[in-house]
Structure 1
Amino acid sequence: MSNPHREHIRPKAGTFYYGECRGVEYAAAVFEPTADATEAERVASQDEGSLRQYLVRPLDSDWKFLASDTNPDSGCAKKIPAALAALWGNCSKV
């Protein structure tokens, strides 16, 4: 079942990160509503929804929400493995 507040969103250009570490996939992005987003989706994209979101997918599993940046200046090393954060330039500011 899809989440009605997340159907019409996409990663904001220049904010998408993806990588794998020890067989686990990680992704990070700032999401924005598409042109056909509903009002509920636009509201969900405000406040914490407008921050960088971190997702994780262990082997043979679905993507799961890991964390969001409450302080984008802090980088991403606390949210993903340090080696991957280093490759991502510590998820530099949006």
Structure 2
Amino acid sequence: MKAAVTGAYQRSFPRFVHVQPVPHQFFYGQCGGVRYAATRFEATPGATHEELVGMQDEGSATKYFRGTSGGSWIYIASDSFPRGPHGCGDVPQIPDSLAAAWGNCPVVQ
């Protein structure tokens, strides 16, 4: 699943090839029959200078995804800047009940 979500991120942000979800920052769940995921990304070995610079801002924001009826994932939103006080609870595309189950997607430093 992490690989599929990473692929959705790379399709939406093709300049980031060498990325992976930040450890302990991947959330997954289902609400009303719809699958959702949330994660922050970090650069992996082999990242270019451009990717490393770009991830300084992009990597600090949690990205949100929705599963499609075809089984793939699509990018639907990012945290606002600055991040809202309720984390993913402030992201309208994420159902409130799921954001609550995820503990509002705390950012682990």
**TM-score relative to the length of structure 2:** 0.71
CA contact (8 A) 2:20 2:42 kept: yes
> What residue in structure 1 maps to residue 85 of structure 2?
73
* Long gaps (5+) in structure 2: 1-9
How many residues in Structure 1 have an aligned counterpart in Structure 2?
A: 94
Query: In percent, how many aligned pairs have the same letter?
Result: 44
Cα RMSD after superposing both structures: 2.2
Shift of 1:72: 5.0
Give the letter aligned to residue 58 of structure 1.
T
Contact 1:51 1:68 in 2 (8 A): yes
Q: Please tell me the residue identity of whatever aligns with 1:85.
A: A
Which structure has more helix as a fraction of its residues? Answer: 2
**Among 27, 37, 47, which residue is 1:17 paired with?**
27
Contact kept? 1:51, 1:72, Cα under 8 Å: no
Which moves more between the two structures, 40-49 or 12-21?
Answer: 40-49
Please, which of 82, 95, 98 is the counterpart of residue 84 of structure 1? 98
Q: Distance in 2 between the 1:60 and 1:23 partners?
A: 13
Q: Per-residue deviation at 1:69?
A: 1.3
Q: Which has the larger displacement, 68-77 or 23-32?
A: 68-77
Q: Distance in 2 between matches of 1:74 and 1:48?
A: 19
Shift of the alpha carbon at 1:73? Answer: 3.1
